[in-house]
Amino acid sequence: MQCRAHVSQLAKLYRQLKEAGAEVIVILGDTLEQAKMYADILKLPFPVLSDPGREVYRTYELEKYFMLIQRTASIVVDRDGVVRYLKRTTNPMTWLQESRELFGFVDSMND
């Protein structure tokens, strides 16, 4: 559920993020078919990738807490492939509060 709240917030910010020169992708720890269905159901304007082996989740320490609660994150990678921003959470409401922070960070990379 928190993943949907996070992704829905990114969809609302998508136009602003694109105008700031950013691209958004979502990576799910599911099959390619499930990722496509997720993107279709939420009518997302950006790609949803599949990571069934959950390598990306392990790389960014997004394992489930107590094997129940999935952690989510916003990660900003610059054009050179360097991670410049990483914010993890298990609380979906955090994304509503942090959306301005994320956009501000992306926008500041243009300075």
**What one-letter code names the amino acid at 109?**
M
Compute the average pLDDT of residues 24-33: 88
Cα within 13 Å of Cα(31), Cβ side: 3
pLDDT for residue 68: 66
- Expressed in percent and rounded to 5, the helix, strand and coil fractions of the chain are 45, 20, 35
- Can you tell me whether residue 48 is helix, strand or coil? strand
pLDDT for residue 36: 93
Compute the average pLDDT of residues 14-18: 86
Tally of structural domains, the chain: 1
pLDDT band at 53 (very low <50, low <70, confident <90, very high): very high
Q: Which of 58, 64, 84, 88 is nearest to 74 (CA)?
A: 88
Compute the average pLDDT of residues 68-74: 73
pTM of the model: 0.73
In 61-75, which positions are buried (b, 16+ CB within 10 angstroms) versus exposed (e)? ebeeeeeeeebbbbb
DSSP 25: -
What is the domain range of residue 22?
2-108
Crossing angle between the packed helical segments 32-42 and 2-19, to the nearest 10 degrees = 70
**CATH classification of the domain holding 46:** 3.40.30.10
Compute the average pLDDT of residues 80-95: 74
